[in-house]
């Protein structure tokens, strides 16, 4: 089946089809922000920022606008979590996160990781996987978690 029309290129971007690229894009944008990373910018991320699109990360004016630059790492991570929700649990496991423990001091969320994982999209991540390449995505996600955990 051929894909065409507006937005067709979005699904040929590696960060939209491979979990390791999706999470790496978020990490790269976070590292690019450096000391100017703004955790509070997560509050101004819009749905349009999160949806996979050419404009989201590749807009030529994005590096000029501080508000856009502040939201990019958050939006990319949200997109990765929506497209590949199962990878987040694996990444946290490898990083040694406590799933029943309280959130870190200063966190705006009071829920445990287990409580968050009991909700969508994480609770239904096996329902929303690629029908043909789900095993490839799982293996790529696991390999990424083992090899890239020290960057997170």
In order, the DSSP letters of 17-58 are H-HHHHHHHHHHHHHHHGGG--GGGGGG--HHHHS--HHHHH
pLDDT given at position 129: 66
Which is nearest to 120 in space by CA: 128, 112, 130?
128
* Contacts of 54-63 spanning 24+ positions with Cβ under 8 A: 54/7, 54/9, 54/10, 54/13, 57/15, 57/25, 57/29
pLDDT given at position 51: 82
Please write the tens of the pLDDT for every residue from 59-103.
555 566 777 888 999 999 999 998 888 899 999 999 999 999 888
pLDDT given at position 22: 93
pTM of the prediction?
0.79
List, run by run, the mean pLDDT of 10-residue segments along the chain (152 residues): 45 81 94 89 89 59 72 92 89 92 84 90 73 81 91 90
């Amino acid at each position: 089946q051929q894909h065409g029309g507006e937005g067709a290129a979005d699904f040929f971007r590696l960060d939209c089809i491979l979990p390791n690229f999706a999470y790496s894009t978020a990490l790269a944008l976070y590292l690019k922000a450096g000391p100017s990373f703004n955790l509070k910018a997560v509050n101004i991320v819009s749905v349009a920022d999160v949806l996979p699109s050419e404009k989201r990360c590749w807009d030529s004016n994005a590096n000029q606008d501080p508000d856009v630059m502040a939201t990019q790492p958050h939006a990319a991570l949200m997109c990765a979590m929506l497209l590949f929700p199962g990878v987040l649990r694996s990444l946290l496991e490898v990083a040694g996160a406590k799933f029943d423990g309280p959130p870190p001091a200063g966190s705006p969320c009071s829920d445990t990781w287990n409580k968050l994982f009991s909700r969508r999209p994480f609770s239904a991540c096996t329902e929303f996987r690629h029908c043909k390449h789900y095993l490839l995505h799982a293996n790529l996600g696991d390999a990424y978690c083992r090899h890239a955990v020290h960057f997170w």
